[in-house]
Amino acid sequence: VDIRDVGKRVVRQILGLKGPDIGEEPVILCGHEIEPSVIANIPTEQIAGVLLGQGSTTCHAVIIAKARAIPTVVGLGDKLKEIKSGASLVINGETGEVYVAPTEQQLIAFNEQIKEQNRLKAHYAELTSLPAETTDGHKVMLVANISTHLDVEAAVSGFGAEGVGLFRSEFLFMGRSEAPDEEMQFQAYKEAVEKCKGQLCVIRTMDIGGDKPLPYLNIPKEDNPFLGWRALRICLARRDIFMPQVKAILRAGVYGKAAMMLPMVIRLSEVDKVKQIIEEAKVLLAQENKPYSNSVQLGIMVETPAAAVMSPIFAKHVDFFSIGTNDLIQYTLAVDRVNSNVSYLYDPFNPGVLALIKRTIDSANKNKIWAGMCGEMASDPCAAVLLMAMGITELSMSAPSIPRVKELIRKISMVEAKKALDKVMSMEHAADIKEYLHEKFNDKK
């Protein structure tokens, strides 16, 4: 898509053609696929929403839209044929609902929802500079998940992020014919670290494979790529690609507070090998007269049942844990979260999942390292209350979710949160847990 996008832009320049004319009023951009440059080159206030026939939440067009808080719905397929240019639409980016030619009554109802959203937006803006602190003085760090170094400023200044809990470095590796070199990576990491202004910037080493293959890595076709050659497994096998990334992160650490996070860890020997590579990288940097930091923290993503069960062991060998619930839930429950036939079973409040999360946080606290979460579960305010009661230190999420989570945390006490946790951990059904949390905290949101 990116390559075709560039080609079209070149042709338009040669032929003297203008870009798409969307007029002066806000519009919903609608297409089977939409080039990232189209979204990037239109002022945010003119785009009311984006509808895509194909694509995923990780395609570049969606990443750009999400970073600008533009409601987006993907995977509409043939339903797009029902939508004509100039049609009146209402879309809900949270639920994926799309209404064509809404009735007068629907418009009235939706306009009331929009007014409420605008009221909440103004209210949330007042929370930007305030800490995520309970009524009895317990603080939690709320930080942002980002895909590029360009996302940091909006997360910090626009939504009050206190740093970066997940820099998805694989996006530097995607859309290219070869891996980015050390210098290119260094510049991106350095900018992200600097924009955090002394707060921690956690850089995940490339999580390639699974649903994010790269042609130049020659990853063989796999029947189950999510359980195959991906993430740290590739890094340890391809040191020619991994070493430049390690060196770049160590160099970026000179310009602020940086951390290196390893995805898909299941064995202690993997951590030991990375530590050896880090020491080798320091020797090389010293020989090359390149400044590097000795204080870059090393942590792991806890996103497999093995890592969660072994967390008491891992906690003795790393500086932090970050719980990746997207995969942890998938692997724990044996549920493919993108399979519509079984997606209803994908549930972060499953008692088995909660038990593994609590075990991980307990292991971190016992060994005096910090524990965070960078999966989607962190953006659920009710889940955040439970995690805080479990003793989590940091919650990392999509930046627009930060105000909602902060608001609930600031309205409750740690005493309330721990009582809720005790109740939840004694319950046997996820549905009961969610109903209880909704009833207990819904009036506070």
Could you give the residue numbers annotated as active site? 60, 374
Angle between helices 414-425 and 430-441 (to 10 degrees): 160
Compute φ and ψ for 364, nearest 5 degrees.
-65, -50
The closest alpha carbon to 38, from 5, 82, 83, 80, belongs to 5
Q: Which residues contact 25 (CB under 8 A, 6 or more apart)?
A: 46
Cα separation of the two ends of the chain: 40
| Residue 34: C-alpha distances to residues 5, 9, 67, 85, 120 (Å) | 9, 13, 16, 15, 30
Q: Are β-strands 72-73 and 320-323 bridged in parallel, bridged antiparallel, or unpaired?
A: unpaired
Compute φ and ψ for 300, nearest 5 degrees.
-125, 150
CA dihedral in degrees (17, 21, 24, 29; nearest 10)? Answer: -140
Residue 143 backbone class (left: φ over 0; alpha: ψ -120 to 50; beta: rest): beta
Rounded CA separation 198/213 (Å): 34
- C-alpha gyration radius of the chain: 23
Q: Which residues contact 290 (CB under 8 A, 6 or more apart)?
A: 247, 251
